[in-house]
Structure 1
Amino acid sequence: MDWTQLPLGPLQTNCYVLSHESTCILFDPGSEGEQLVQWLNENKLKPIAILLTHAHFDHIGAIGALKQKFDIPVYLHKEEEQWLEDPALNGSARFGMGTIKAPPADVILDQEKELTVGPFKLQLLYTPGHSPGSLSYYFEEGGALFAGDTLFMGSIGRTDLPGGNHQILIDSIHEKIMSLPEETIVLPGHGPATSIIAEMDSNPFLNGF
């Protein structure tokens, strides 16, 4: 199984494509829906699901195009169930990015569990703080964590948006992410990949863990 990082849109939000043979799942398709559909077709990949780490506008903008083309389900935490269709909640109204909406989620996630989607097995981790419904998806077989905007290389997610909470974010990182194997690759919502051990050693926001 392979993963590909595709930075999309003006905020260069990382969409990740986790693939096995010709089947794939998509994490956070934030923008450029037509281009993303074209990329999938050119690479002969058929998506079977969209998994969202959270529902801020820069992570959801391509959902409509993907659902129209492939008719695939969207997974989202229950705390943000209303955000996809509401620009005030997803933040697009606040940041002057135009009205960004997406079709409602098909699968509402409300507890930590092993999530099986086609050939892919993922451990669902509830990691709020950046937003109230933030999720991280641990792909044990590939030693990777799709972390959304929870943890970045040398930084952490912002918590000044509605529903954000700094202490809750720090607790999420400490309790859910830093307990993973040190060699785990962290695939963030923006910027380059990092690892648990690298962030333990050098992330200034995590000093004192």
Structure 2
Amino acid sequence: MRKFILVIILFIIVLFGIYFVVSPVKDVEQLNQTSSLSALAQEKSAHSTSLELNDGTPILGYRLSEIDVNDYFRSYLYKQDSTVEGAEAELLPGHIKFYINKRLVSFMDSQFVADVTSNTENGKLVLKVNSIHLGRMPIPMSLVWERLGIERFSGVTVDKEMNKITLLNHLPPSVSFKKADTTDDYIDLSASVSIISLRDLINLAPYLIPEDIQKNLSKKLNLFSW
């Protein structure tokens, strides 16, 4: 009888130990219906975008606060993955931490914590994944890609060998990112914009021009096409 009781106590201790290890390390906001990514971009562009000319080439600067990053992050996850229950991004000097609440089993809360560095490569915006934890436990990257399914998200590609995530692949090729610097207050992005033809301008419209103006332009362009 004593052995049975001892086994039960050990089982309870192990169970609580596992729960402590994988349970959320940070309280994060639950995912709810939010604005679309394009609507967010238009809403925030008025106060966060700057424009400079470098040898005649427009350079767009884009400053994102931690609130901005979280708006984009949660909007993207809400649209792409219905199994995510909550999420938060935390800006730190030189890197970012992403917290994603996602149940591995129905009776236990769990949280993925990703530490990443933002960078630019070949004109693309890239996140280098430095580490992944399940709660307080470090886990192999191979398990992360399988569980999170990031590669199925639209506009995103994953290099599993180099542990890199390339973002915003849906942007037109006329946009080339030059800088992605992170502080504990902001992410400062800059990108050169090559506008050679009217088609380049039309492709950029959803990200730079309010929706009502886009509709008017579309109607006029359709008239010209006849």
Q: Structures share a fold, TM > 0.5?
A: no
Comparing both structures, which one devotes a greater share of its residues to strand? 2
- Return the TM-score normalized by structure 2: 0.28
- Return the TM-score normalized by structure 1: 0.30
Question: RCO higher in 1 or 2 (8 Å CA, sep ≥ 6)?
Answer: 2
Comparing both structures, which one devotes a greater share of its residues to helix? 2
